[in-house]
Amino acid sequence: MKIGVDIDNTITHTTEMIMHYARIFGEKHGLNTVADPSYYYLEDALGWERDIAEHFLDVYLPDIYREMRPKDQAVEVMRQLKDEHELVLITSRNQKFPEVEQVTLEWLERYGIAYDGLILNATPNKHFFSKLGVCKEQGIEIMIEDHHDLIMELAQAFPVIVFDYPYNRHINAQNVYRVTHWQEVLERINQLAAKRSAI
Ligand SMILES: [Mg+2]
């Protein structure tokens, strides 16, 4: 099968690393550093002005992307999946941001992430893009994702395996399979692949 895989908060612990740097930046500038985890976006989770959050991300994102770690078993499960399936990484990381594409490629190499293709966001929105068009173009049959709007959009077309977070917990739609660990991703994909070959 052709599987789409998001990167941030799917392969990686991105929010933890963002909050680590947000604490340093916030303390330096007298901003709130206690996040509300039910919000996805930094300005909402911390109550920062949007332009302050943008400035923070402009400065810190390359370091954040460089220093984050893969989730437990992500590397191993992706290697196993790649033996039987095609894995296309589809991320809202924007290739127009300085360093982002290069830092991402280096990080994937450093951790030995197994994948067949990488598609970055090339839209004017720095932090989000609709992935449905790209998934259709690529012939994606399953997506692994955490972003609430993307889950809703993609689940209308094919199964979406969702990494559980407070900000996506309100979603309970058909085609949505919630997981908390990469081992569950593997089990779920095996089930979906078996179901598909039985048709
Ligand atoms: Mg994500």
Residue 24 has pLDDT above 90, yes or no: yes
- DSSP bridge pairs for 89: 5, 118
Q: Note the pLDDT tens digit of each residue in 51-73.
A: 999 999 999 999 999 999 999 99
DSSP alpha helix (H) spans, 68-121: 74-84, 100-110
Q: Note the pLDDT tens digit of each residue in 143-195.
A: 999 999 999 999 999 999 999 999 999 999 999 999 999 999 999 999 999 98
Query: Rounded to an integer, what distance in angstroms lies between the CA atom of residue 135 and that of residue 90?
Result: 8
Q: How confident is the model at residue 114 (pLDDT cuts 50, 70, 90)?
A: very high
Residue 126 has pLDDT above 90, yes or no: no
Ligand 1 centroid distance, CA of 155 (Å):
15
Ligand 1 centroid distance, CA of 10 (Å):
6
Q: How confident is the model at residue 196 (pLDDT cuts 50, 70, 90)?
A: confident
- Residues 6 or more apart whose CB falls under 8 angstroms from that of 135 comprise 4, 90, 143, 154, 157, 158
Q: Which helix (H) or strand (E) holds 138?
A: helix 132-138
Tell me how many degrees the CA angle 15-81-145 measures, rounded to the nearest 5: 30
3-state secondary structure 10-77: CCECHHHHHHHHHHHHHHHHCCCCCCCCCCCCHHHHHCCCHHHHHHHHHHHHHHHHHHCCECCCHHHH
Ligand 1 centroid distance, CA of 13 (Å):
10
Query: Rounded to an integer, what distance in angstroms lies between the CA atom of residue 194 and that of residue 45?
Result: 40
Ligand 1 centroid distance, CA of 198 (Å):
31
Ligand 1 centroid distance, CA of 162 (Å):
10
CB 168 within 8 A of CB 151: yes
- Can you read off the two tokens belonging to residue 145? 């994702």
Ligand 1 centroid distance, CA of 39 (Å):
13
Ligand 1 centroid distance, CA of 40 (Å):
10
Ligand 1 centroid distance, CA of 89 (Å):
11
Ligand 1 centroid distance, CA of 7 (Å):
6
- The burial of 170, by beta-carbon neighbours within 10 Å (0-12 exposed, 13-18 middle, 19 or more buried), is given as exposed
Ligand 1 centroid distance, CA of 168 (Å):
11
Ligand 1 centroid distance, CA of 161 (Å):
12
CB 109 within 8 A of CB 66: no
Ligand 1 centroid distance, CA of 12 (Å):
9
Q: Which amino acid is at 32?
A: N
Ligand 1 centroid distance, CA of 199 (Å):
31
pTM of the model: 0.95
Task: Look over the chain and give the mean of its residue pLDDT values, rounded to a whole number.
Answer: 95
Q: Which amino acid is at 191?
A: Q
Q: How far is CA 170 from CA 60, 64, 147, 165, 166, in A?
A: 30, 28, 12, 10, 8
Q: How confident is the model at residue 198 (pLDDT cuts 50, 70, 90)?
A: confident
Ligand 1 centroid distance, CA of 24 (Å):
23
* pLDDT number for residue 159: 97
Ligand 1 centroid distance, CA of 129 (Å):
11
Query: Rounded to an integer, what distance in angstroms lies between the CA atom of residue 2 and that of residue 140?
Result: 5
* pLDDT number for residue 98: 80
Q: Which among 13, 46, 43 has a CA at the least distance from the CA of 27? A: 46
Residue 199 has pLDDT above 80, yes or no: no
